[in-house]
């Protein structure tokens, strides 16, 4: 904490001393009398001044949803007391102060606390951490000023609001676990499959008594069981593009959160493979704990460009169980990353690509060369998509104005074909 005298102290001291000196020199006692209170006030303030002792803490909600209003609570405690304390908070663009209020003035009683609430709107998803907290304390009469900068250790994890519960991807291979996906096989379930004559080994509970009575022989009802599968979301964070607030990786993270939320609710095991300059791997698991784990990982996603995308040998593919489906969320902005789905398919892994469209976010061309560069960019991305399709990898494009369930449904249809 830094301490210094205020401009008021300097004015009082200089005016009082100058008035005393001039009054003594020219022999004007009324000038001496008028200047004496200023000198006494400055002297008394300096004698009684004690540097303030402050203990500061900042708290806030651990999680919020995009668009919600959250409160950042600043608590200040002082054993000596502070008659005038100004608190200023700086927040990232993820948080917007309600009414633009970023400062507050309070009085902290001795051996007590003062609490200030700063209402904020969670404007964008991500991990919002207040940048700094500046406190300026003034002594009585405002003669001395103490200031300190506090680095808050609170973080608010803001989740996207537009999660779509209908955006469920059916894994390529269903496993004999209870889930929400209808299996094409026959077994114990609620969905009707067919009625056929009784065969040795059929359970008596499956007898269809009405059809059996009509046919004069034993017939059984077959059903489709509800099962679940394994899904891995492969997030391409090697390159980024687009305007602030709606960048490629931000949209890919939104889609990954929606798919993870929906498929985990469908009793699937969902994992995450974040491939950028570094690799983050979360094995497929079930349950609410896995959902919280994946959401926290996605909120902390960062783009760290490198010279070359990681090779297939560096990916933890040995941890994937047979039949696991991999869905890659990418903008096809890097040549090496666009070849990764082909390498996965060659290694026997079921893979599909959700192409996050970025062509509509290209800046307007201001010259002939920029126009040609934009056309070349679109041609290159179209060629990469066609290469994936020619290699047998299902590819669907998600445009900015589309709801997510449309490309997800198209992806399911293309995978079945």
* Whether the Cβ atoms of residue 415 and residue 172 lie closer than 8 Å to each other: yes
Output the pLDDT for position 186: 56
Give CATH for domain 228-416.
3.40.50
Q: Residue 337 and residue 298: Cα distance in Å, rounded?
A: 19
User: Which superfamily is assigned to 55-159 in CATH?
Assistant: Immunoglobulins (2.60.40.10)
User: Within 13 Å of residue 317, how many CA atoms lie on the same side as its CB?
Assistant: 19
Tokens of 174: 């269903």
Give helix 248-265 / helix 288-299 axis angle, nearest 10°: 180
pLDDT at 187 over 70: no
Per-residue pLDDT, averaged over 24-48, amounts to 77
Per CATH, 55-159 and 228-416 having the same topology is answered no
Range in 146-150, 185-189, 268-272, 307-311 with the lowest mean pLDDT:
185-189
The DSSP result for 345-379, as a single string, is HHTT-EEEEEEE--GGGSPPP-SHHHHHHHHHHHH
Output the pLDDT for position 164: 46
**pLDDT tens-place string over residues 277-324:** 788 899 999 888 898 889 888 888 877 666 566 766 778 877 777 778
Output the pLDDT for position 116: 93
pLDDT at 170 over 80: no
**pLDDT tens-place string over residues 323-338:** 788 999 998 888 888 8
User: Within 13 Å of residue 333, how many CA atoms lie on the same side as its CB?
Assistant: 23
* Whether the Cβ atoms of residue 243 and residue 361 lie closer than 8 Å to each other: yes
**pLDDT tens-place string over residues 351-361:** 999 999 887 66
* Whether the Cβ atoms of residue 291 and residue 264 lie closer than 8 Å to each other: yes
47 or 76: which leads in pLDDT: 76
* Predicted TM-score (pTM) of this structure: 0.66
pLDDT at 267 over 90: no
Pairing of strands 156-159, 95-97: unpaired
pLDDT at 403 over 50: yes
Place of tokens 């490198």: 306
Q: What are the domain boundaries of the chain?
A: 2-48, 55-159, 186-224, 228-416
Helix (H, G, I), strand (E, B) or coil at 187: strand
Selection from 159, 169, 168, 124 nearest residue 295 by Cα: 159
For the chain, percent of residues with pLDDT exceeding 90: 18
Per-residue pLDDT, averaged over 93-105, amounts to 88
Residues 6 or more apart whose Cβ sits within 8 Å of residue 279 = 273, 310, 314, 315, 316
Give the model's confidence band at 17: pLDDT under 50 very low, under 70 low, under 90 confident, else very high. confident
């Amino acid at each position: 904490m830094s301490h210094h005298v205020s401009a008021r102290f300097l004015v009082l001291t200089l005016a009082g001393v100058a008035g005393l000196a001039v009054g003594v020199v020219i022999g004007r006692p009324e000038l001496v009398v008028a200047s004496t209170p200023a000198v006494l006030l400055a002297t008394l303030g300096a004698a009684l001044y004690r540097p303030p002792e402050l203990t500061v803490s900042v708290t806030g909600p651990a999680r919020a949803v995009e668009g919600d209003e959250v409160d950042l609570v600043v608590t200040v405690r002082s054993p000596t007391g502070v008659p005038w304390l100004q608190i200023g908070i700086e927040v990232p663009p993820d948080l917007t102060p309600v009414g633009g209020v970023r400062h507050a003035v309070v009085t902290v009683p001795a051996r007590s606390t003062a609490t200030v609430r700063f209402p904020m709107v969670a404007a964008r998803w991500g991990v919002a951490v207040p940048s700094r907290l500046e406190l300026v304390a003034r002594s009585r009469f405002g003669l001395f000023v103490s200031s300190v900068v506090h680095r808050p250790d609170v973080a608010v994890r803001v989740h996207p609001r537009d999660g779509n519960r209908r955006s469920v991807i059916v894994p390529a291979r269903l496993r004999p676990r209870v889930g929400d996906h209808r299996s094409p096989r026959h077994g114990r379930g609620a969905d009707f499959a067919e009625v056929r004559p009784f065969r040795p080994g059929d359970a008596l509970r499956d007898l269809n008594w009405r059809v059996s009575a009509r046919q004069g022989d034993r017939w059984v009802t077959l059903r489709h069981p509800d099962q679940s599968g394994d899904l891995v979301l492969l997030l391409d964070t090697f390159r980024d593009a687009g305007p602030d607030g709606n960048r490629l990786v931000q949209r890919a993270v939104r889609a990954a959160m929606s798919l993870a939320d929906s498929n985990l609710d469908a009793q699937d095991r969902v994992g995450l493979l974040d491939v950028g300059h570094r690799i983050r791997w979360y094995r497929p698991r079930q349950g609410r704990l896995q959902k919280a784990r994946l959401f926290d990982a996605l909120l902390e996603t960062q783009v760290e460009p490198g010279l070359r995308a990681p090779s297939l040998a560096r990916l933890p593919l040995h941890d994937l169980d047979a039949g696991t489906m991999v869905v890659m969320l990418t903008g096809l902005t890097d040549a090496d990353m666009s070849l990764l789905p082909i390498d996965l398919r060659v290694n026997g892994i079921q893979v599909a690509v959700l192409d996050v469209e970025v062509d509509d976010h290209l800046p307007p061309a201001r010259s002939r060369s920029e126009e040609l560069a934009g056309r070349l960019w679109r041609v290159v991305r179209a060629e990469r998509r066609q290469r994936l399709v020619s290699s047998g990898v299902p590819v669907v494009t998600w445009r900015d104005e589309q709801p997510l369930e449309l490309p997800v449904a198209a992806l399911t249809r293309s995978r079945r074909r």
